[in-house]
Structure 1
Amino acid sequence: MPPSPHVPDHGAVLGEVRKVRRAGVVRLRALDLPALAAAARELPPGDGESPGGPVEKVLRLAVSRMGGGTLQTAAEYSLGLAQGTRDWPPADRRRRAAQVYGVSVERFRKHHELMVLGQVAEQVVQLVGQSGTVTAAPPAPASDRMPDAHRALSVRVHHRTVPVMLHVHSVDLLRDIDVVVSPSNVYFALPAAYKSSVSATLRRAGAHRDPVGGLVEDRIDDELRGWTARHGVPGRAAQPGTVAVTSAGALGGQGIRRIYHVAVAIPRPETNDYDVRPADITRGVARVFALLAEEAARHDPPLRSVCLPLLGGGRGGLTPLESFGALWAAVEAELARGADWDIHFVVRRHARADLLERLLSSRED
């Protein structure tokens, strides 16, 4: 029986991946990369070497397993693995990776780059853990790929196992969930219904329309304006972490009963950007559960299920890992005290769903 592979430390691998990003693959042989070199030695022999040797080979294999899409493309440009980019200066590679996400170079550097490189490191660690059976299999034809849109997970929390449902689709496709959480800015001003954010999508889906699509009632926006008027905050900022409650409007026909709007985004003056602090997400989600406990018995049947998106992404700038860590802190605290809510998460991208599934499945008491 072959010996178990030595799985490298994720932090050490990430540090070396960041070195590669700065230097580029054309200078790999001049870099001190012990963790990546050790990872390369653990992998089975392949069909030839990469131009930069074993370390480049393991990086290319890791990136090839990232699921495609913007995440993989940004990783390829960041490291100089995309065709024709081996000798690009680091600034040019970063600029091109930023364009993949449609953000400024500075925003990419601060908010996206660490997430992208962290996922490269994660794939390296997984490759070593799976060594002996690792292959860079070609992707299946598109007609053969049917990724799961709903993933039922079992998560260990405080000496018990709780079910968690992970939805991988747009938030307006949810069905039969009592409370859907929606991110908001501290002014509780909803974005235009034609935009693509979670809150805009819920506003659009909750509106009542006539048979030819004309707007009859912008129910969620109307109710949210009414909530701010009743609570004395119209036109001024609420405290981050405040939660406003509305009905689900037309989404009631899909079994959605309430929308909890969590104020987490603080607008930056004279810009289109926001600041989101993880502590405000944790505080806001804790308030969601407090309101759910207050409201549950007032409804027939009682409210029981809640679905959370990754708050603070988009223009909020948090990585999926940062967002999930902040909201899971509140979810875990609620479950640890014995609460038996039905917990759901919703994301649109399968790469993000894969990350959440790994994080939840790896939990131990």
Structure 2
Amino acid sequence: MPSPPPHQLDHGAVLAEVRKVRRAGVVRLRELAVPVLAGVARELPQPPSGDGELPGGPVEKVLRLAVSRMGGGTLQTAAEYSLGLAQGTRDWPAADRRRRAAQVYGVSVERFRKHHEFMVLGQIAEQIVQVVQVAQRDRATAATAATAVAAPADRLPDAHRALHVRVHGRTVPVTVHVHSVDLLRDIDIVVSPSNTYFALPAPYKSSVSATLRRAGARRDATGGLVEDRIHDELGGWAARHGAPGRAALPGTVAVTSAGALAGQGIRRIYHVAVAVPRPESNDYDVQPADITRGVARVFAQLTEEAGQYDPPLRSVCLPLLGAGRGGLTPLESFGALWAAVEAELARGAEWEIHFVVRRHARADLVERLLAGLGEGD
């Protein structure tokens, strides 16, 4: 029997509760009756254990996620002040928060209350609705894909999926690799996510960049570190292109060799700055627009140096940037990546495109999204 359609969230009901939070502030969030927002919190994936709960509980997490998706600028800043999410405003009275939000737009408090505030709170509600829709689509897609492509019990799922994708009237080959990034072979360029300081994580961690650092290092016969090649080259690149300790613009691309991964046919690592660290914390933010901008620069860099090698550089492999601790869903990450890939392919580029993911559920999602690109072509 087919599963029932997901519950459609009512924008008006969400907005009513967002306005209630604006009046009370997040400092009183646990005292408020906000059943719709509480239901949204239950819809979203649970954070990894040990992440720590926000003072306002799961509902505050929903509000912060929604505001973080507003694209920055005056709209996001006014939203943060309106709800008490801006640093130091948590316990401000509603009147003070409204006054500060009005200053962001440079208008009187009364004009802000009558005109701007409804727009700001409405946009918060809209982002909450979209967050739920994305979570529902991800779950539905994963469930459908698991049913449609479940492998027989006597066969392991495919680790390499060769697809043919329709892009602007032509068919292009795309390969999806379902394994750790350090198992890739014979690919010219592997893209690695980085923070804006191009500081690599410790090699014992499990992220894409840490895995590449570990795999690219050279070790002696006993396992002792001889050369931390990718780490050292990236540090050299950062020193040559900016003052030590200064952040690069999001979307900047730094290039290093592949270190010991050259033995597997990997020729270059393109490090893309997509993670913007939050001051005085261990957290960072990843914006889809920065991913798109960074991947576009990956192709610009590839175009510039492809002919300098023999044979020329031709293939590039992309992980789902920002879909780990970056906070983006796999669907959001793929959408941001594909915007740049599609633009490059639309101009007739002949690059070989690869994606790498570690989970079969994510591979199923990517495969289904790619399969749907040709519909209506």
Q: Give the TM-score normalised by the residue count of structure 2.
A: 0.67
Change (3 A) 1:360 1:264: same
Structure 2: where are the runs of 5+ without partners?
14-37, 67-130
Residue 136 of structure 2 is aligned to residue 117 of structure 1: yes
What is the DSSP-based 3-state SS (H/G/I as helix, E as strand, rest coil) of the residue aligned with 1:230?
Answer: helix
User: % of aligned pairs identical?
Assistant: 71
8 A Cα contact 1:188 1:224, kept in partner = yes
- Pick one of 249, 252, 269 that aligns with 1:242: 252
Distance (whole Å) between structure 2 residues aligned to residue 186 and residue 339 of structure 1 = 28
- Pick one of 304, 323, 336 that aligns with 1:326: 336
Corresponding residue number in structure 1 for 2:324:
314
For residues 188-267 of structure 1, the aligned pairs below 5 Å read 188-267=198-277
Residue 240 of structure 2 aligns to which amino acid in structure 1? Answer: R
Change (3 A) 1:332 1:101: farther
Change (3 A) 1:139 1:158: closer
Corresponding residue number in structure 2 for 1:176:
186
Change (3 A) 1:136 1:192: closer
Corresponding residue number in structure 2 for 1:167:
177
1:32-58 Cα distance to aligned partner (Å, 9 max, x none) = xxxxxxxxxxxxxxxxxxxxxxxxxxx
1:89-116 Cα distance to aligned partner (Å, 9 max, x none) = x679939962567655455884986654
What is the DSSP-based 3-state SS (H/G/I as helix, E as strand, rest coil) of the residue aligned with 1:182?
Answer: strand
8 A Cα contact 1:225 1:234, kept in partner = no
Residue 290 of structure 2 is aligned to residue 271 of structure 1: no
Distance (whole Å) between structure 2 residues aligned to residue 148 and residue 98 of structure 1 = 29
What is the DSSP-based 3-state SS (H/G/I as helix, E as strand, rest coil) of the residue aligned with 2:46?
Answer: helix
Change (3 A) 1:341 1:203: same
Distance (whole Å) between structure 1 residues aligned to residue 44 and residue 280 of structure 2 = 27
Q: Shift in Å at residue 145 of structure 1?
A: 4.2
What is the DSSP-based 3-state SS (H/G/I as helix, E as strand, rest coil) of the residue aligned with 2:42?
Answer: helix
8 A Cα contact 2:204 2:214, kept in partner = yes
Residue 345 of structure 2 is aligned to residue 335 of structure 1: yes
Structure 1: where are the runs of 5+ without partners?
1-6, 23-89, 128-134
Distance (whole Å) between structure 2 residues aligned to residue 168 and residue 279 of structure 1 = 26
8 A Cα contact 1:13 1:121, kept in partner = no
8 A Cα contact 2:138 2:331, kept in partner = no
What do you get for the CA RMSD once the two structures are aligned? 3.3
Q: Shift in Å at residue 148 of structure 1?
A: 0.5
Q: Shift in Å at residue 184 of structure 1?
A: 0.3
Q: Shift in Å at residue 233 of structure 1?
A: 3.9
Corresponding residue number in structure 1 for 2:114:
none
Corresponding residue number in structure 2 for 1:98:
46
For residues 126-141 of structure 1, the aligned pairs below 5 Å read 141=153
Distance (whole Å) between structure 2 residues aligned to residue 335 and residue 310 of structure 1 = 19
Corresponding residue number in structure 2 for 1:303:
313
Distance (whole Å) between structure 2 residues aligned to residue 189 and residue 93 of structure 1 = 33
1:271-318 Cα distance to aligned partner (Å, 9 max, x none) = 211111111100000000000011101111110000000001212100
Corresponding residue number in structure 1 for 2:361:
351
Residue 353 of structure 1 aligns to which amino acid in structure 2? Answer: A
Change (3 A) 1:317 1:137: closer
Change (3 A) 1:194 1:113: farther
Q: Give the TM-score normalised by the residue count of structure 1.
A: 0.69
What is the DSSP-based 3-state SS (H/G/I as helix, E as strand, rest coil) of the residue aligned with 1:344?
Answer: strand
What is the DSSP-based 3-state SS (H/G/I as helix, E as strand, rest coil) of the residue aligned with 2:328?
Answer: coil
Change (3 A) 1:177 1:116: same
Distance (whole Å) between structure 2 residues aligned to residue 240 and residue 97 of structure 1 = 27
Distance (whole Å) between structure 2 residues aligned to residue 270 and residue 198 of structure 1 = 24
Distance (whole Å) between structure 2 residues aligned to residue 146 and residue 107 of structure 1 = 38
8 A Cα contact 2:43 2:135, kept in partner = no
Change (3 A) 1:336 1:119: same
